[in-house]
Structure 1
Amino acid sequence: MSTTHEERAPVAQDVLPASPLVELIDTHLYMPYPFRRNPHEPAAAAGVDAWLRTTGLSDEPGVAAMICHTRPAELASYNSPDADPGILQLVAHQIAYQFVFDDRAEEVGRHRPGRLLPMLGESIAILRDDAPPGTPLGAALSDLYRQVRERCTPAQAARWAWKSREYVHGLLYEAVAQTHPSPLRSGLCTSIRSLTAGVEPFHPLCEAAQPCELTSEELHHPLMRRLSRLSADAAVWIPDLFSAVKEQRAGQMINLALAYQRAHQCPLPVAVTLAIQQINRTIREFERLHAEIAPELSPSGVGYVDGMAGWIRGCYYWSRTVPRYADAATEVLR
C-alpha cells in the first residue's frame, strides 16, 4: 500500500464509482508518515488489561468487549513507536480510559444531556481540585492523574489536567448537539469534534517523553500552537472517515464526513472525499509549518513535534485495521 497519496480535485457525484470505504480513503488520503509500531506493544496491552482490572473498570458492563474492539495499546504503539515502556504504558492507559469515558458519556447523555452532569462534575473536581472519586470511573481517572504526576514535571501535569478538562467539557457540548432539533453547521461540528477527540491531553505526554521540558518560547510559539491544533484535528478527522457509515446508521452528528454530507446534501462518497481533502490540507499545512519551525527547535522540541505527527500517522493505521471499524473494510458506498 502506498503511503503517499496526492490530493485530487473534488470528485463529481456521477463519476464516483461504488467502492469499499477503505479503498476510497486509501486512494485519496495524503499520508506522508510510514507505518511504525512500538516493540513494547505486547507488554503495554497486558498492562492495560491489568490496570482495568485493578481499577474495577473491566467489571463494568461492556467494557471488556469494547477494549477488545478498540485495542488501546495498539493505538498507543502506532502513535508512539519510539516511546520508552513507561510512557507507552501511560499513553495506553489514557487511551483506554478515554474510550471507556467516551462510550459511557454517549450512553448516559444520548437523549438527556443533563444526566451527564454528575459524571462530568466528578471528573472536573478530580482534575481541578484533586477531589476524591466516588465512582469506579472517577477512581480510574484519579489513578491516571497520579501516574501523570509521577512521570511528568509539575508544569506538564498541569497542562495535561487543563487539556483533559477541555475534553470533559466537550462531551457535554456533544450531548447537547446530539439532541438539538436543527442540523449542526460544519464549523460548530468541527469545533466540538476537536474537543471530544481528546488528542491534545496527550501532547504533554509527548513532551514528557523528551529529554528536557520545552522552553516557554518553544511551547508558546505561534507556530507550535498551530501545529498542536493541526495535529489534533487531523488525528481525529481520519477515524471519522472510517466510522462514517457506522455513525450515519446510529444517527450520530459529530463527524467530519457527515457534516459535509449535511452541508452539501450529497451522497456519502462525495462527503467522505470532501472530508479527505480538508484532512489533506491540514496534514500539508502541518508539514509546512513543521519544516518552518524545525531550525529554531531544541532536540526536545523536535521530538515533541514528531510526537504530534505520530498521532496523525497512528490514527490512520489503527483505524484501517481496528475491529471497531471492521464494517468499513467491506462497506460499499453508493
Structure 2
Amino acid sequence: MSTLSTTHEEIALGAPDGKPVSNLRDLIDTHLHMPFPFRHNPHEAEAAAGVEAWLDEWGLMAEPGVPAMIARTRPAELASYTSPALDLGLLQIVAHQIAYQFVFDDRAESVGRCSPAALVPMLCESVAILRDGRRPGTPLGAALADLYRQVRERSTPAQAARWAWKSCEYVHGLLYEAVAQAQPLLLRTRDCLSIRSLTAGVEPFYPLYEAAQPREPAAAEVHHPVVRRLSRLSADAAVWTADLFSAVKEQRAGELINVALAHQRERGCSLQTAVLLAVQEINSTIEEFEELYALIAPELSPAGLGCVEGMIGWIRGCYDWSRTVPRYADAALVPVLP
C-alpha cells in the first residue's frame, strides 16, 4: 500500500506499478485491497422480480421517484453479491430489506434536509414497530412491519431481536445525519464516521446469516468480542467502499456523511486525494479483519464460520455492486487528475 501525504497533493495518481489510470473508478480499483473472491447468488433474477412485487404490494412503487431509484440501485443485485450462499427465501428477505432501506433512506434524506424535526414522526413509527410491535400507520411502516414478520418466520427469537435492535440503530443514525446536515460547520471527521457506521444499515443483515446456518451458532460465538469486532470492521469496510464510488454523486448533492468527503473537508485536498486517503483507511480495516479472522477461525464452529462468511460477503459484495451500479456511474467519468 502506497504512502499518501495528508497535507499536500504529492500523490502519484496512478497504479502502484507506475502505470497511469484514467478515471476515479479505475484509481479505486487499482489501490483498494480486496482479498476476497467475487461471488453471486444464482437466484438473483427471482429475487429481483420479488422485490418489485413486494414494493408494489405495499404501495411504494407508486410513489414518485421510487421505480427509477430501484432501477438505478438494483437492490437484488446487491443482495446477490453480498449473500451468494443464501437460499432463495432468505435472499428474498435480504433483497426486500435492501430495497426498503433505499426507499427509507431517500425519504429520510429528503425530509431531514428541510428540517430534522420533521423527520421525527417517521423515525418514531419505525422504532415503535421494531421495539414495541406497534401497528403501522403509513405505507413505509406497513412494509417494515411485513419485513419484520418475514425475519421472525425465518429466525429464532434471539436472532429476530438482534435484527430489530440493529435496525433501530440504523433508524437513529438517520436522525443524527439530518442534524449534522443542518449544522455542517460543526461536523468533524470522527463524528461523520460514527454516523456513517449507523446509517450504513449493514449490521442488521448479520442475524440473517445466523438464521441461514444448519445449526444455530452458540451465543458464546455470536457475542465473542473478536466476532463482534469482525462485525464492526466488515460493516465499516463495506460502506466506506461504497462511499468511494458514491462520492461524486454525493458531493454534487451537497451530502456530508461520506468517508471520502470527510477527508476532503478535513485536509482541504482534491476529491481524488481524499478518495485515496479513504482507501488507505479501508485497506487497514480489511487487513485487521483478515488478521482477526485468522486468529478466531480455529475456535469457531461451522455455523460460526458461516456467519463470518456472511460478513465477508458484504465487504466484497459492496465493492462489486458499487463499481457497476448506475447510481454511482459518475465515478467513471471523473478524471484522475483534478
TM-score by length of structure 1 reads: 0.96
Question: Is residue 2:140 matched to residue 1:137?
Answer: yes
Change (3 A) 1:48 1:131: same
Task: Report the Cα distance in structure 2 between the residues aligned to 1:142 and 1:272, rounded to whole angstroms.
Answer: 38
Aligned letter for 1:65?
A
In structure 1, the residue matched to 2:275 is: 272
Task: Report the Cα distance in structure 2 between the residues aligned to 1:41 and 1:182, rounded to whole angstroms.
Answer: 43
In structure 1, the residue matched to 2:216 is: 213
**SS state at 2:85 partner:** coil
Superposition RMSD in Å: 1.1
Task: Report the Cα distance in structure 1 between the residues aligned to 2:184 and 2:11, rounded to whole angstroms.
Answer: 34
In structure 1, the residue matched to 2:3 is: 9
Task: Report the Cα distance in structure 1 between the residues aligned to 2:120 and 2:10, rounded to whole angstroms.
Answer: 46
For residues 1-334 of structure 1, what are the structure 2 equivalents within 5 Å? 7-10=1-4, 13-17=9-13, 19-333=22-336, 334=338
**SS state at 1:57 partner:** coil
The answer to whether the 8 A contact 1:22-1:329 is kept is yes
**SS state at 1:286 partner:** helix
Task: Report the Cα distance in structure 1 between the residues aligned to 2:293 and 2:12, rounded to whole angstroms.
Answer: 34
The answer to whether the 8 A contact 2:94-2:205 is kept is yes
Task: Report the Cα distance in structure 1 between the residues aligned to 2:112 and 2:256, rounded to whole angstroms.
Answer: 14
Task: Report the Cα distance in structure 2 between the residues aligned to 1:139 and 1:229, rounded to whole angstroms.
Answer: 29
1:32-64 superposed Cα distances (whole Å, 9 cap, x missing partner): 111111100000000101101111111111111
**SS state at 1:38 partner:** coil
CA drift of 1:14 comes to 4.0
CA drift of 1:328 comes to 1.0
Task: Report the Cα distance in structure 2 between the residues aligned to 1:110 and 1:104, rounded to whole angstroms.
Answer: 10
CA drift of 1:181 comes to 4.4
Task: Report the Cα distance in structure 1 between the residues aligned to 2:163 and 2:10, rounded to whole angstroms.
Answer: 47
Task: Report the Cα distance in structure 2 between the residues aligned to 1:168 and 1:260, rounded to whole angstroms.
Answer: 25
Task: Report the Cα distance in structure 2 between the residues aligned to 1:60 and 1:256, rounded to whole angstroms.
Answer: 30
In structure 1, the residue matched to 2:16 is: none
**SS state at 2:185 partner:** coil
Task: Report the Cα distance in structure 2 between the residues aligned to 1:178 and 1:231, rounded to whole angstroms.
Answer: 26
CA drift of 1:183 comes to 4.3
Task: Report the Cα distance in structure 2 between the residues aligned to 1:307 and 1:177, rounded to whole angstroms.
Answer: 31
Task: Report the Cα distance in structure 1 between the residues aligned to 2:60 and 2:11, rounded to whole angstroms.
Answer: 48
Task: Report the Cα distance in structure 2 between the residues aligned to 1:228 and 1:207, rounded to whole angstroms.
Answer: 13
The answer to whether the 8 A contact 2:259-2:278 is kept is yes
CA drift of 1:283 comes to 0.4
5+ residue gaps, structure 1, are: 1-6
CA drift of 1:90 comes to 0.6
Segments of 4+ moved more than 4 angstroms: none
Aligned letter for 2:187?
L
Task: Report the Cα distance in structure 2 between the residues aligned to 1:91 and 1:259, rounded to whole angstroms.
Answer: 29
Task: Report the Cα distance in structure 1 between the residues aligned to 2:334 and 2:146, rounded to whole angstroms.
Answer: 40
The answer to whether the 8 A contact 2:58-2:142 is kept is yes
1:107-158 superposed Cα distances (whole Å, 9 cap, x missing partner): 0111310000110010011001111111000000000000000011100000
The answer to whether the 8 A contact 1:183-1:262 is kept is no
CA drift of 1:20 comes to 0.9
The answer to whether the 8 A contact 2:4-2:11 is kept is no
Task: Report the Cα distance in structure 1 between the residues aligned to 2:187 and 2:179, rounded to whole angstroms.
Answer: 11
Q: Figure out how many residues of one structure are paired with residues of the other and give that number.
A: 328
Percent identity between matched residues is 70
5+ residue gaps, structure 2, are: 14-20
Task: Report the Cα distance in structure 2 between the residues aligned to 1:235 and 1:14, rounded to whole angstroms.
Answer: 28
Task: Report the Cα distance in structure 1 between the residues aligned to 2:37 and 2:333, rounded to whole angstroms.
Answer: 24
1:226-268 superposed Cα distances (whole Å, 9 cap, x missing partner): 0000011001000100011111111111000011111111111
Task: Report the Cα distance in structure 2 between the residues aligned to 1:102 and 1:171, rounded to whole angstroms.
Answer: 8
Task: Report the Cα distance in structure 2 between the residues aligned to 1:181 and 1:303, rounded to whole angstroms.
Answer: 41
